Amino acid sequence: MSGEYTVSREDWSLHRKGEIDRERHREKVREAIKKNLADVVSEESIILSDGRKVVKVPIRSLDEYHFRFDTGKQKHGGQGQGNTKKGDVLGSDQKHFAGPGKGKGAGEEPGVDYYEAEITIDELAQLIFEDLGLPNLQQKKKPELASEAFEFKDIRKKGISSNIDRKRTILEALKRNARQGKPGFGKITKEDLRYKTWDITHKYESNAVVLAMMDTSGSMGPYEKYIARSFFFWMVRFLRTKYQNVQIVFLAHHVEAKETTEEEFFTKGASGGTRCSSVYKLALEIINSRYNPQDYNIYAFHFSDGDNLTSDNEKCVKYVKELVEMCNLVGYGEIEGPYYHTSTLRTAFKKIVDPKFTSIGIKGKGDVYPALKTFFNPHPENKVQ
């Protein structure tokens, strides 16, 4: 062994071309997913992935722009009368705006093709969480907890093979060949190899706790529970991805409220009537007994269909006002059914005028992602569009 590694220029080019094509494809997929995050976030295959690391995401295929004649019309003249000007609308056909397969009747238009792309949950989470953060995060009296983080900070001549920095290695080979009067890329020697190395750093964060509150009463059907669980699924993953020292408390309620495990929160249903004040009261008790507002950043998020006992609404307003005084942010999400009309509970919450309280309505699966962006806006002074 001479201690030298020979790499064929042709082989390297082919390998690099294939890698470029794969990376270009991955980038196109990421762009398509990012443009359709509102639909992707609530995709059932992801919410019900049950710990799988790779999921399939449906992406609408892109069609090339082209003119298409409407075969249902008899005339297709291309000439005009000569009295039009730039910007004039020559005509429109409203029936095509509804989209294929929509509107009255069975329809004759071809459907839209969808392409299923495989993506890891971690890659998808990175796209979803890009602009999210805990709002109004403050320094607290209690000493901050330190968590370890690994950062690649240096390039060295020795290391493990999995950490080879290919770009730096090739650059060293080119520089060595140039010094020897042999410009170009031909051989890689042991002296050319460069490795990325890391240092262990300590990341300091303020303590925080998030209270996840969900209505599990009889009026919350499969659709409403799915919407609520979709929001909390991404909320939990977001918090554990970005903040290592955030605690999450799971509370479920119908007429009565109780603290549950994470598994029970996402899997068990319930029935009976609805008394939302019960979960707000329990949240206050937990904060008072376990989480001093002087030591913790506290956040509370509640999802319900709003079908609450009318006689309970004033008590809800009272408890939520108390929560707002203790929390950095209190969020209420109301899931609107097909025959929705503004609930008496959400109407009652209009009495609460405080920047630390946010109430939103969710009309469909596509509203889950905007809800995440609204509640986890790190700069609440800048309104999320």
Read off the pLDDT of residues 26-63 as tens digits, 9 standing for 90 and up: 777 777 777 778 877 877 767 766 656 666 666 665 44
Residue 89 within a domain: no
User: How far, in Å, CA of 367 to CA of 224, rounded?
Assistant: 13
Within this chain, do residues 48 and 162 fall inside the same structural domain, yes or no? no
Whole-structure pTM value = 0.64
Within this chain, do residues 159 and 236 fall inside the same structural domain, yes or no? no
Alpha helical stretches, state H, 199-302: 222-242, 262-267, 277-290
H helices, E strands: number in the chain:
11, 12
Read off the pLDDT of residues 66-97 as tens digits, 9 standing for 90 and up: 556 555 555 555 555 666 666 666 655 544 44
Within this chain, do residues 232 and 322 fall inside the same structural domain, yes or no? yes
Within this chain, do residues 46 and 154 fall inside the same structural domain, yes or no? no
Task: Provide the token pair at 298.
Answer: 């506290």
- The DSSP code sequence of 158-194 is ---GGGB-HHHHHHHHHHHHHHTT--S--EEEGGG--
Task: Provide the token pair at 20.
Answer: 């470029």
Within this chain, do residues 275 and 359 fall inside the same structural domain, yes or no? yes
* Domain count for the chain: 3
Residues of the domain holding 149: 145-203
Task: Provide the token pair at 200.
Answer: 């262990």
Within this chain, do residues 212 and 360 fall inside the same structural domain, yes or no? yes
Within this chain, do residues 234 and 292 fall inside the same structural domain, yes or no? yes
Within this chain, do residues 34 and 166 fall inside the same structural domain, yes or no? no
Structural domain ending residue among the three candidates 187, 203, 219 = 203
Which residues of the chain register pLDDT less than 50? Answer: 1-2, 5-10, 12, 62-64, 94-98, 384-385
